[in-house]
Amino acid sequence: MGTQLDSAKSVFRLGLFRDFPTLMHYRDFGGYQALAKALAGSPEAVIGDIGAAGLRGRGGAAFPTAAKLQMVRDNPPGERYVICNADEGEPGTFKDRFIMTHIPFQLLEGMTIAAYAVGAAQGFIYIRHEYPEAQETMRRAIAAARAAGLLGGDILGSGFSFDIEIFSGAGSYLCGEETALLSSIEGKKGRPRLKPPYPTQSGLWGRPTLINNVETLANIPPIVDRGPDWYRALGTADSHGTKLISLSGDVVRRGLYEVPFGTTFREIIDNCGGGVRQGRLKAVNIGGASGVVVPPWELDCPLEYSACGQHGITIGSGAVFVMDDSRSILENVRNRVDFFLHESCGKCTPCREGLRQAGRIIHRLLAGNAVLADIDNLERYTRTMQNAAFCGLGQAAGNSLISSLKYFRGEYEAMCRDRGEAAPKEATA
Amino acid sequence: MTETITFSLNGQQVAVPAGLSILDAAALHGVRIPSLCHHPDQRVKANCRVCVVEVEGQKNLAASCATPVTAGMKVRTNSPRIRETVQTILELIFANHPQECLTCIRNGNCELRRLAADYGIREVKGEMATDALPLDTSTPSLVRDPNKCIKCGRCAEVCHHVQETGILYSHYRSVDVQVAPEYGKSLSDVACVLCGQCAAVCPVGAIHEKDDTALVWEALDDPAKHVVVQVAPAVRVSIAEEFGQAPGTIATGRLVSALRKLGFDRVFDTDFTADLTIMEEGHELLHRLQSGGALPLITSCSPGWVKYIEHSYPELLPHVSTCKSPQQMFGALAKTYYAGKAGIDPADIFVVSIMPCTAKKFESQRPEMNASGHQDVDAVLTTRELGRILKQAGVDFAALDDSVFDDPLGISTGAAAIFGVTGGVMEAALRTVYEVVTGQELESVEFTAVRGLQGIKEATVDLAGTPVKVAVAHGLGNARRIMDLVRAGLADYTFIEIMACPGGCIGGGGQPYGTTDTVRRQRIEATYRVDAGLALRKSHQNPAVAKLYAEFLRQPLSEISHHLLHTKYRNRSLYKLKG
């Protein structure tokens, strides 16, 4: 691994826990101090700390975590649930798996604190079945935490009870969408539900439910333990804390990196990844399959919600896939359209039929059978998906298409039979 | 009082009651937003996405069917962005839809085709990508063409959440999605009751009635056949809709004229055997009360309901009246009593039914329905098929004069007329049972407690000092709730009326397209007007029925009645449990 964040400035201390996912080891380095602290105070104080820290959801939507906790807490008394979304279906993303296999107790501690904050007694971790080692590690961690009185009845003698079950998903990408995930746990088809009502009001089995990504929940113990001021100091004025980056593609050192918000994408590629392996940097896919494709000149944009928003960059899950100039943009886009076409649930027309038509056009382009008018249609279908698809995944399925058309339209046009006089345009700044 | 809120609709401030969707709120102010999956009687699905609108402050377009209007909201329903999106979605659907509009059964009343016309779709710019899946023609009632399905989900919604039969599901994912019975089975292999509510709500031609018009033409064109027709009560208040008239138009007289013009040798009325059903079923009830038979007694007129209880509650079959439905009583009498009176060999008689119902096609083909020695009813046409066959014959329905049904199987009372609505069989039975038991004349014949669209209705009637509790349910979801009570021994009812379709037969699966609760109310209201307009309103007053007993059947529940008018049921449970 390349640069490793100093423990004092790290939420995850990835180096420390690389090979010892044991409870003893976790506690040796201060694990479960946060839970003790949280249980000694009020649930409101926990939500207050998380709000003051400015934690936002790390699954992709970046929703303020404290607001979500508060919404679940504000429901009338009664059963409610905490669900950890560990479906991690976004291609090129492996941060949640790393947390589960290396620092499982930090996730359990975070979930337990969240459950205390919202008043839940039962939690679920929804892990895709393609992660058997993560499921195994989490199961063992749950058993160890129970044995140590850190899960189950009367945790740490506080009177607060909470337990966690592992739910093995069948591997559908769409089940990472929170309402599809709920349906999946309920034994129904993994299709998204109408919102509102939001899961915070009517979630699992119609009960109020907190659903957060693995990384989000694992952020909670350090915030509670070291305090919101420490956490806020890690990032920028706009985006606080750190972000796990799954770096892959044509870089020297692929891997998982924790970087403070404010780091530029170029720094991530050069400092963490050691730069492009060979050839010239051509494009970077940020945010996974549902993210955007950007050219090198956009890489000085800092990893920060507002700046990325202005640049049209989706941070998403924090996947960064680097492409050198041996790669074809069109082939890359084809892979992603094929992926989404395979994973679409088929519920709504724009996603189901839009992806089918988009796929046909991309395949025609690559076969040299497309015409320029196809590109306009492709753009129109993509706009329709973004504008009108039922769920966030359908809306995001077109991100790579739209961004690649914006920056690399020349590559599309060059593949058209009727490109005529128009010389292919090189992507330039 | 509902709260009123104000929002901006295309730049104009408009006031609407709180709690409406944008789609419904816009409709109140003359803005029609296109939709395909939306159905006013169903829960919101938001699958098709053609109802999208712009809501200020939202990045993406909003599905207007699924988005509630809030005070101060700014909505646009017409902009270049919306038009492009709607046109594109329609184009995307067409690219997956067989371009067989000219030969499609929905030609002329297809909701997708209407949107294509409204939106001026002139070409499908995408690549045609249609499916080549096999048709399901396994039942006598319905044909499912999965290739035409646009995956709107209306059929599955009515099957799951209204009928609660759960036959049609959305299977697979992405472009492989199919709305179909489990594990690729055909409709005949599952517990489908063939009510046809799926067909009634399908916006396109993906599931529809099996068209038997050719069978009827063949009989009409055969000079050796004596072709008689019977018309169900619910058809007279709906057939005019097939010719553009408003729901609730009463067209009994014109319907008779139209059928004569088609060339039927006799035009009879199922209402006649509806009166007869009351005589038989009323006496069956009295017999069970007196001799300790299985109670509550449950009606058996609705073939979708009968098939449902055979599949789902076979242990309760002893409760079901052994009376055949009016359609089948008619068929048995047409080929015995009528054949004898007219001096015609029953082998030469061809009986056609005009029914609001797709399950009636199945019922007519049940193997036991041959008491006359022949198949009692030879062909069943739904109201929609009748509309088509009349158009083929060039019958100008609006210009017809009224005429009356033929004797003797065409004479009926108001009690029979209301068989077509939920609560009608119960009310008709009470009118007769009351007078038979008490020996007194019933002064007020209208039992309003069993009328209307409430899912389950209860009433208690005083029969000569004995209070008798009755219940009425329509729609199989409601039927199921009552059956669960009966099975658990928690129902203290004496008599239960069940009709498979919401609203009763007037809401049947074979009725003209566009049935909603509003339309159901209009047809129901018309039905009660038919009843109120008749001089005779009690089945036992029907002189033709009295004559039938005197000449042929002798008395209710006689041996010949049992042979011709009563039937047996079977356990159709697909998943037999031990014990």
Is B151's CB within 8 Å of A349's CB? yes
User: 3-class DSSP state for residue B459?
Assistant: strand
- What's the CATH number where A349 sits? 1.20.1440.230
Whether A315 and chain B come into contact, CB under 8 Å, resolves to no
Task: Please list every residue in chain A whose beta carbon sits closer than 8 Å to the beta carbon of residue B93.
Answer: 349, 353
Domain C-terminal end among A162, A197, A232? A232
Pairing of strands A319-324, A281-286: antiparallel
Whether A18 and chain B come into contact, CB under 8 Å, resolves to no
CB neighbours of residue A53 within 10 Å: 26
Number of domains in chain A: 3
Cβ neighbours of residue B184 closer than 8 Å, sequence gap 6 or more: none
The verdict on A188 and A93 lying in the same domain is: yes
The verdict on A370 and A302 lying in the same domain is: no
The verdict on A401 and A285 lying in the same domain is: no
Q: Nearest C-alpha of chain A: how many angstroms from B61?
A: 5
Residue % of chain B over a pLDDT of 90: 96
Substitution target in A338, A341, A347, A385 with the highest count of B β-carbons within 10 Å is: A347
The verdict on A60 and A100 lying in the same domain is: yes
Pairing of strands B142-144, A319-324: unpaired
* Residue A424 covered by a domain: no
Distances (CA, A) of B104 to B107, B204, B378, B383: 5, 9, 26, 18
Is B84's CB within 8 Å of A388's CB? no
Reported as a single tens digit per residue, the pLDDT across B50-106 is 999 999 999 999 999 999 999 999 999 999 999 999 999 999 999 999 999 999 999
Distances (CA, A) of B350 to A75, A171, B219: 67, 59, 7
Distance CA B415, CA B542 (A): 10
* Residue A251 covered by a domain: yes
The verdict on A291 and A336 lying in the same domain is: no
The verdict on A109 and A254 lying in the same domain is: no
Distance CA B504, CA B524 (A): 9
Whether B65 and chain A come into contact, CB under 8 Å, resolves to no
- CB B467, CB B460: distance < 8 Å: yes
Whether B128 and chain A come into contact, CB under 8 Å, resolves to no
User: 3-class DSSP state for residue B297?
Assistant: strand
Residue of B nearest to A347 (CA): B47
Which of A353, A360, A381 lies at the smallest CB-CB distance from B93?
Answer: A353
Please calculate the CA angle A306-A213-A8 and round it to the nearest 5 degrees.
70
The verdict on A204 and A266 lying in the same domain is: no
For the question of residue B281 being annotated catalytic, the response is yes
The CATH class of the B4-78 domain is alpha beta
For the question of residue B127 being annotated catalytic, the response is no
Whether A398 and chain B come into contact, CB under 8 Å, resolves to no
- Residues 19-58, chain B, touching A (beta carbon < 8 A): 44, 46-50, 52
Task: Please list every residue in chain A whose beta carbon sits closer than 8 Å to the beta carbon of residue B95.
Answer: 353, 356-357
Whether A188 and chain B come into contact, CB under 8 Å, resolves to no
Distances (CA, A) of A42 to A78, A150, A158: 19, 18, 11
ipTM > 0.90? yes
Reported as a single tens digit per residue, the pLDDT across B514-535 is 999 999 999 999 999 999 999 9
Considering B111, B241, B242, B281, which one is annotated as catalytic?
Answer: B281
Domain C-terminal end among A179, A213, A232? A232
Is A356's CB within 8 Å of B129's CB? yes
Distance CA B200, CA B385 (A): 13
The verdict on A18 and A116 lying in the same domain is: yes
Is B52's CB within 8 Å of A388's CB? yes
Q: Where are the domains of chain B?
A: 4-78, 93-209, 224-565
Distances (CA, A) of B390 to A81, B216, B431, B512: 61, 12, 36, 14
Residue of A nearest to B176 (CA): A346
Is A346's CB within 8 Å of B93's CB? no
The pLDDT value given to residue A1: 41
For the question of residue B363 being annotated catalytic, the response is yes
- pLDDT band of residue B577 (cuts 50, 70, 90) is low
The pLDDT value given to residue A20: 66
Considering B151, B210, B335, B360, which one is annotated as catalytic?
Answer: B360
As a dihedral over the C-alpha atoms of residue B78, residue B79, residue B83, residue B85, rounded to 10 degrees, the angle is: -110
- CB B413, CB B536: distance < 8 Å: yes
* Residue A172 covered by a domain: yes
SS3 string of A214-246? HHHHHHHHHHHHHCHHHHHCCCCCCCCCEEEEE
Task: Please list every residue in chain B whose beta carbon sits closer than 8 Å to the beta carbon of residue A342.
Answer: 174
For the question of residue B360 being annotated catalytic, the response is yes
Which residue reads 């209306």 in tokens? B154
Is A387's CB within 8 Å of B52's CB? yes
Residue of B nearest to A340 (CA): B174
Give the largest Cα separation in chain B, rounded: 79
* Residue A429 covered by a domain: no
The pLDDT value given to residue A171: 86
C-alpha B313 chain-centroid distance: 22
* Residue A426 covered by a domain: no
Task: Please list every residue in chain A whose beta carbon sits closer than 8 Å to the beta carbon of residue B129.
Answer: 356-357, 360
CATH architecture of the region B93-209: 2-Layer Sandwich (3.30)
The pLDDT value given to residue B94: 96
Query: pLDDT 10s per residue in chain A (429 long)?
Result: 445 788 889 999 887 777 667 999 999 999 999 999 999 999 999 999 999 999 999 988 899 999 999 999 999 999 999 999 999 999 999 999 999 999 999 999 999 999 999 999 999 999 999 999 999 999 999 999 999 999 999 999 999 999 999 999 998 999 999 999 999 999 999 999 999 899 999 999 999 999 999 999 999 999 999 999 999 999 999 999 999 999 999 999 999 999 999 999 999 999 999 999 999 999 999 999 999 999 999 999 999 999 999 999 999 999 999 999 999 999 999 999 999 999 999 999 999 999 999 999 999 999 999 999 999 999 999 999 999 999 988 899 989 899 999 999 999 999 999 986 555 555 554
Whether A363 and chain B come into contact, CB under 8 Å, resolves to no
The pLDDT value given to residue B466: 87
DSSP A92-115: T--HHHHHHHH-HHHHHHHHHHHH
CATH architecture of the region B224-565: 3-Layer(aba) Sandwich (3.40)
The verdict on A305 and A352 lying in the same domain is: no
Reported as a single tens digit per residue, the pLDDT across B2-58 is 799 999 999 999 999 999 999 999 999 999 999 999 999 999 999 999 999 999 999
For the question of residue B100 being annotated catalytic, the response is no
Which of B49, B84, B170 lies at the smallest CB-CB distance from A350?
Answer: B49
The verdict on A210 and A258 lying in the same domain is: no
The verdict on A33 and A166 lying in the same domain is: yes
Which residue reads 């050192």 in tokens? A253
* Residue A2 covered by a domain: no
* Residue A160 covered by a domain: yes
DSSP A167-180: EEE---GGGGSHHH
Mean per-residue pLDDT of chain B = 96
The pLDDT value given to residue B218: 98
Domain C-terminal end among A305, A324, A343? A324
The verdict on A13 and A162 lying in the same domain is: yes
Reported as a single tens digit per residue, the pLDDT across B558-573 is 999 999 999 999 999 9
- Residues 173-202, chain B, touching A (beta carbon < 8 A): 173-177
Whether A377 and chain B come into contact, CB under 8 Å, resolves to yes
Reported as a single tens digit per residue, the pLDDT across B325-368 is 999 999 999 999 999 999 999 999 999 999 999 999 999 999 99
Whether B172 and chain A come into contact, CB under 8 Å, resolves to yes
Considering B56, B84, B368, B551, which one is annotated as catalytic?
Answer: B368
* Residue A425 covered by a domain: no
Substitution target in B21, B86, B88 with the highest count of A β-carbons within 10 Å is: B88
Is B177's CB within 8 Å of A346's CB? yes
| Domain extent for A83 | 7-232
Q: Nearest C-alpha of chain A: how many angstroms from B16?
A: 21
Q: Nearest C-alpha of chain A: how many angstroms from B495?
A: 37
Which of B46, B85, B95 lies at the smallest CB-CB distance from A353?
Answer: B95
Which of B47, B60, B129 lies at the smallest CB-CB distance from A386?
Answer: B60
- CB B547, CB B262: distance < 8 Å: no
Buried b (16+ CB within 10 A) or exposed e, B295-316: bbbbbbbbbbbbbbbbbbbeeb
- What's the CATH number where A206 sits? 3.40.50.11540
Distances (CA, A) of B130 to A418, B120, B204, B250: 27, 22, 15, 42
For the stretch B280-284, contacts whose Cβ atoms lie closer than 8 Å and that sit 24 or more positions apart, written own/partner, are B280/B323, B280/B329, B280/B556, B280/B557, B280/B561, B280/B565, B280/B566, B281/B321, B281/B323, B281/B429, B282/B429, B282/B432, B282/B433, B282/B436, B282/B539, B282/B540, B282/B556, B283/B436, B283/B556, B283/B557, B284/B321, B284/B322, B284/B323, B284/B557
Reported as a single tens digit per residue, the pLDDT across A287-338 is 999 999 999 999 999 999 999 999 999 999 999 999 999 999 999 999 999 9
Which residue reads 């529940």 in tokens? B557
